[in-house]
Amino acid sequence: MPYRAPVQDYRFLMDHVVGFPAVAATDRFSEATTDMADAILTEAGKLCDDVLAPLNRNGDLHPAVLENGIVRTSPGFSDGYAAIAEGGWIGISADPEFGGMALPMTLTTAVNEMMASACLSLQLNPLMTQGQIEALEHHASDAIKELYLPKLISGEWCGTMNLTEPQAGSDVGALRSKAEPNGDGTFKISGQKIYISWADNDFTENVCHLVLARLPDAVDGVKGISLFMVPKRIPDENGAPGVANSLRVVSLEHKMGLHGSPTAVMEYDNAVGWLIGEEHAGLAAMFTMMNNARLGVGVQGVGVAEGAYQHAVTYAMDRKQGKASGAGTIIEHADVRRMLASMKTDIFAARGIALSCAVAIDMEQATGDVEWRDRAAFLTPIAKAFGTEVGMDVSHQGIQVHGGMGFIEETGAAQYSRDVRVTAIYEGTNGIQAMDLVARKMMDGGEAAMRLLDEIEQAAETAKATFPVLAEQVWSAAETLRETTEWLVSQTDMNDRFSGAVSYLMGFARVMGAHIHLTAAMQGDATRVKMAEFYIRRLLPEHVSYLAQARDGADAIMEFTNEELVA
């Protein structure tokens, strides 16, 4: 079925819900006018509709392969990537000194979601590059910036990040890759990395790997890790890709989804690398890239959800079965309508949370205000985890809407579910995101959370004059969330926080989603009002269960013995 980018939803959320006009009112982003934003969203939508969406099925049916050490990408991916690069979409938020547009992250986030809807396998490539661009802008030397950033922003070169190793998994501090000084400012990088997205391709001149490794004098753990730029081809004196570096793609993983995106095992054997940032401070530099990617992965989940929803609703409009009123297709059945309404309203909530996070990032960059910084930090794990959970749930329901045909690969419904599943694992699993939320993001005593809750309750108070019942439900839910937050920050045993962390994150997302829907309904549009009514009456009540679990503590979990869990 043809995909259509939800440009109107982005415009509505930006103009009326998430506060984008405040971003455009700053000196830094004064060029992001309504007309500019409309033009960006419209043109990106056309790219996704006409160029990228037709490639999605190709990536699934004709995966990337490794042939004689060379990665061959899926049919049409080369042309699709060229369209992304030539349109300037990789460097939307990048520094104009090196060819970027310096536009707000909010616009980049919207564009990235559209591209993920259209073809997630291909969109992963520019997303990795965008993260690398941001890491280099913040941490690289001027020489590295001048050489690499123009090429990355133009799309002539692309970027990856190399963290994970077979023995380490999510415990990055356990990595063993080594970096030895060459005596000329470069380093010899050796080691193996796994799960490297887009580690190679056949359509860019160079692939630039950011690699975490240890110097000879490094201490154990995360404080002994440094970050290095290790290109596939070593730039010559003119900055052009020169001789091949001593690295290779060992193999490509056989995955349940995202077949068009090559995920590699990489081997570095005394490859030439350049230090990025300070020695032994590599993880901090890499986290710049990872935080960028976490929001990006969150909107990948939302994007796939949108694609799955469009696929399901089209099928429901056409499929005739049973005795239903109206057109006689299954969209008239109450349970199908329930699924579609759940899908539609959850997507809107998750999209609003992601854009709210992006607005906070933009406002912090534009103003330097620490409260905006703290809000962006607080919302990032929620945007990532909730966005990907919505992606999995909506794609799962999309299969169900198709009934038995959803289980048949030819319909394409299952691809969305297979493709999106890994997003809950990317850039730190959703459990890790939740633990970060209740631990590091609560080191302020819950102040960032409370400021958000103050705004939600104030908006609900205002809405009571128009929607008294709905507004009271949102206000009451925010109060329950406030009490749960107070309970969390009072716990000194971190297992009491961690055991309910995922539930707390989901409960927070449910309440914030209700706030987004209520704010949208206040604009008076009849469809937005119906969406708010459905979400607040049907989905918001889940917060009660989530927050009860969050406050239950660790005893019910930790009292199981290993043997009891195994038996």
Could you tell me the two tokens for 449? 């959370």
The one-letter code for the residue type at 16 is H
Q: Is the confidence at residue 327, as pLDDT, over 70?
A: no
State the average pLDDT for the chain: 95
pLDDT band at 326 (very low <50, low <70, confident <90, very high): low
Would you place residue 460 in the very low, low, confident or very high pLDDT band (cuts 50, 70, 90)? very high
* Beta-bridge partners for 252: 264
- Identify which of 404, 521, 403, 546 has the alpha carbon closest to the alpha carbon of residue 471: 521
Is it the case that residue 291 has pLDDT exceeding 90?
no
| Spatial separation of the C-alpha atoms in residues 444 and 360, rounded to whole Å | 17
Q: Does the annotation count 332 as an active-site position?
A: no
* SS3 category, 217: coil
Identify the pLDDT of residue 328.
Answer: 87
In angstroms, the CA 196 to CA 198 distance is 6
Q: Among the options 332, 427, 455, 483, which is catalytic? A: 427
CB 230, CB 209: distance < 8 Å: yes
Question: Cα dist. 105→134, 166, 303 in Å?
Answer: 11, 34, 16
State yes or no: pLDDT of 173 exceeds 80. Answer: no
Residue pLDDT, tens place only, 95-104: 999 999 999 9
Predicted TM-score (pTM) of the model is 0.96
Confidence check: pLDDT of 333 > 90:
yes
- For position 492, what pLDDT does the model report? 94
Contact 197, 261 (CB under 8 A): yes
Over residues 158-163, the mean pLDDT reads 95
Give mean pLDDT, residues 431-446. Answer: 97
276-288 residue pLDDT tens: 999 999 988 877 7
Reported as a single tens digit per residue, the pLDDT across 47-86 is: 999 999 999 999 999 999 999 999 999 999 999 999 999 9
pLDDT surpasses 90 at 42: yes
